[in-house]
Amino acid sequence: MAQTTTVTVRPPAIALADPSVPYPQMTGGEPCQQTDPEEWFPQHGHNPTAVRLCHSCPLLADCRAWALANPQLAAEGIWGGLTRAQRAAIQRNNLRAAA
């Protein structure tokens, strides 16, 4: 007797990438480009210094918008002054608001 397998497909927990939001046009002068990348991608937790430096960056708004629109590409680290957990919370709220 042949066995059948049922596969349940769930919707993604996070929004899919949005290519309409362009990657920030970095010039090399941004704080994250002038500092050890490990500061923005720590192994554990987050680096409050990197978050603070993001808030002095002229690309903050563009960087944040891109990271929130492209969660698969910005899954780790600090982008636009937001930690991974902060981005996930915003994305969850956005998905709830859109439902």
Q: Which residues bind ligand SF4 (CB under 6 A)?
A: 24, 26, 30-32, 40, 53-54, 57, 59-60, 63, 79-81
Smallest gap from residue 14 Cβ to ligand SF4 (A)? 19
H helices, E strands: number in the chain: 4, 0
Nearer to ligand SF4, 31 or 42 (CB): 31
Smallest gap from residue 32 Cβ to ligand SF4 (A)? 3
Nearer to ligand SF4, 33 or 93 (CB): 33
- Cα torsion 27, 31, 37, 42 to 10°: value is -140
User: What phi and psi values does residue 60 have, to the nearest 5 degrees?
Assistant: -50, -55
